[in-house]
Chain A
Amino acid sequence: MGDACERVPHGFGTGPARPRAGTIPTRTRTVRGMSTRSGTRVPFYRNVKTLGLLAQLVFAAVVVAAAAIVYHNVSSALARSHIPADFSFLRVRAGIPIAETPIPYTPADSYARAFLIGVLNTLKVALVGVLLASVLGVVIGVMRLSANWLLRQLANLYVETIRNTPLAVQIVFWYTAILTPLPPRILSAVRWPGGVLVSNQGVALPWLYPSPAFASWLPYLGVAAVLGSAAFVVRRRQLRRADRPGNALGPALLVALALAAIGYLLSGTTPLPRGTATSFRQVSGIATVFVDANGDGKVDDGERRLAFTPVVVRVAKGVLTTQTQDLSESRRIDYGRFRFPPLRQGEYAKATVVFADPARAAGLSIAYLHQPYQGIVYRDANGNGRFDPGEELSSSGATKRGYAVGLRLTVEGFRRRLVTDRGGLARIPRFTTGAAQASTTGGGGANMSPAQLFAAPAQAPAAGEPPALDARFVLPAPRPVVVSRPTIPISTYFGGITLSSNYLALLLGLVIYTASFIAEIVRGGIQAVPGGQREAAKALGLSDLQTFRLVVFPQALRIILPPMISQYLNLTKNSSLAPLAAYVELFAITTIIASQTGASVPVTIMLIASYIVISLVFAFVLNLVNARLALVER
Chain B
Amino acid sequence: MRKLAWLATLVTLVVGSTALAQQSLLDKVKARGTLVCGVNNQLPGFGSVDANGSFVGFDVDFCRAIAAAVLGDAGKVQYRPLSAQERFTAVQTGEVDVLIRNTTWTSSRDSTVGMEFAPTTFYDGQGFLVRSDSGINTLQDLEGRKICVQSGTTTEKNLADVLGALNVSFTPVIYENPDQASSAYDNGACDAFTSDKSQLASRKTTLRDPGAHKILDATISKEPLGPAVLDGDSTWFDAVKWIVFGVITAEEYGITSQNVENVAKTSQNPTVRRMLGVEGDNITGLGLPADGILQAIKQVGNYAEIYNRNLGPGTQFNIPRGLNKLYTNGGILYAPPFR
Chain A interface residues toward B at CB < 8 A: 62, 65-66, 69-70, 72-73, 76, 80-84, 89, 95-99, 106-108, 176, 180-181, 185, 200-201, 281, 283-286, 321-327, 333, 401, 403-404, 427, 430, 440-448, 450, 453-454, 456, 458-459, 489-492, 494, 501-502, 579-580, 582, 584, 588, 591-592, 594-600
Contacts and interface: CB of A to CB of B under 8 A. Distances in A.
A18 B321 CA distance: 107
Contact of A66 (B11, B139, B230, B232): B11
Contact of B164 (A65, A107, A200, A403): A107
A185 B109 contact: no
B133 A284 contact: no
B206 interface: no
A343 B11 CA distance: 73
Contacts of B125: 447
A76 B18 contact: yes
Contacts, number: 224
A80 B108 contact: no
A337 to B, nearest CB: 10
Contacts of A580: 176
Interface stretch (B43-51, B166-174, B274-282): B166-174
- Majority SS of interface residues in chain A? loop
A594 B87 CA distance: 11
Given A107-B161, A284-B140, A430-B143, A444 B217 contact: yes
Interface string B154-190: 0011011110111111111111100010011011110
Counting from the closest, the 7 A-B pairs by CB-CB distance are: A82-B114, A444-B138, A598-B113, A490-B144, A107-B160, A595-B152, A97-B172
Contacts of A444: 137-141, 216-218
B332 interface: no
B144 A96 contact: no
Nearest to B168: A284
Nearest to B161: A95
Given A96-B157, A443-B140, A597-B112, A284 B167 contact: yes
A447 B219 contact: yes
Interface in B101-141: 108-109, 112-114, 125, 131-135, 137-141
A594 B146 CA distance: 25
Interface stretch (B26-34, B69-77, B88-96, B285-293): B88-96
B146 to A, nearest CB: 6
Contact of B135 (A321, A427, A492, A588): A321
B179 to A, nearest CB: 11
Contacts of A447: 125, 217, 219
A108 B167 CA distance: 13
Nearest to B148: A582
B168 A442 contact: no
Contacts of A82: 92, 112-114, 230-232
Given A95-B161, A443-B166, A491 B145 contact: yes
A83 B114 CA distance: 7
Given A73-B14, A81-B114, A459-B167, A324 B133 contact: yes
Given A403-B135, A443-B138, A598-B113, A325 B166 contact: no
B263 interface: no
A202 B54 CA distance: 41
Given A82-B231, A453-B166, A598-B113, A326 B159 contact: no
B220 to A, nearest CB: 6
Contacts of A403: 133, 135
Contacts of A492: 144-146, 171
Interface of B: 7, 10-11, 14-15, 17-18, 20, 84-85, 87-89, 92-94, 108-109, 112-114, 125, 131-135, 137-141, 143-146, 149, 151-153, 156-157, 159-162, 164-176, 180, 183-184, 186-189, 191, 208-209, 212, 216-222, 230-232
A446 B15 CA distance: 59
Contacts of B151: 579, 588, 591-592, 595
B144 A489 contact: yes
A179 to B, nearest CB: 9
Contact of B131 (A108, A325, A591, A599): A325
B158 to A, nearest CB: 8
A62 B217 contact: no
Contacts of B165: 453-454, 456, 458
A200 B174 contact: no
A427 B232 CA distance: 52
A594 B84 CA distance: 11
Given A81-B230, A492-B145, A591-B152, A598 B131 contact: no
28 contacts: A81-B230, A96-B157, A97-B160, A99-B173, A99-B174, A108-B164, A180-B184, A180-B189, A325-B133, A325-B188, A327-B186, A327-B208, A333-B209, A333-B212, A444-B137, A444-B218, A447-B125, A450-B220, A450-B222, A490-B144, A490-B145, A492-B145, A579-B151, A579-B176, A580-B176, A582-B175, A595-B87, A595-B153
Given A96-B156, A180-B187, A66 B176 contact: no
Given A325-B134, A596-B152, A445 B217 contact: yes
A422 B218 CA distance: 31
Contact of B14 (A69, A588, A594): A69
Nearest to A100: B171
Nearest to A584: B174
Contacts of A108: 164
Given A180-B184, A333-B209, A492-B145, A323 B137 contact: no
Given A69-B15, A201-B146, A284-B143, A323 B114 contact: no
Contacts of B172: 97-99
Which residue, of A73, A84, A453, has the highest number of chain B Cβ atoms within 10 A?
A: A453
Contacts of A323: 134-135
Contacts of B180: 176, 582
A440 B141 CA distance: 9
Given A98-B172, A448-B219, A73 B144 contact: no
A322 B136 CA distance: 10
Contacts of B169: 284, 286
Nearest to B222: A450
Given A443-B140, A598-B109, A95 B160 contact: yes
Contacts of A333: 209, 212
Which residue, of A107, A440, A443, A447, has the highest number of chain B Cβ atoms within 10 A?
A: A443
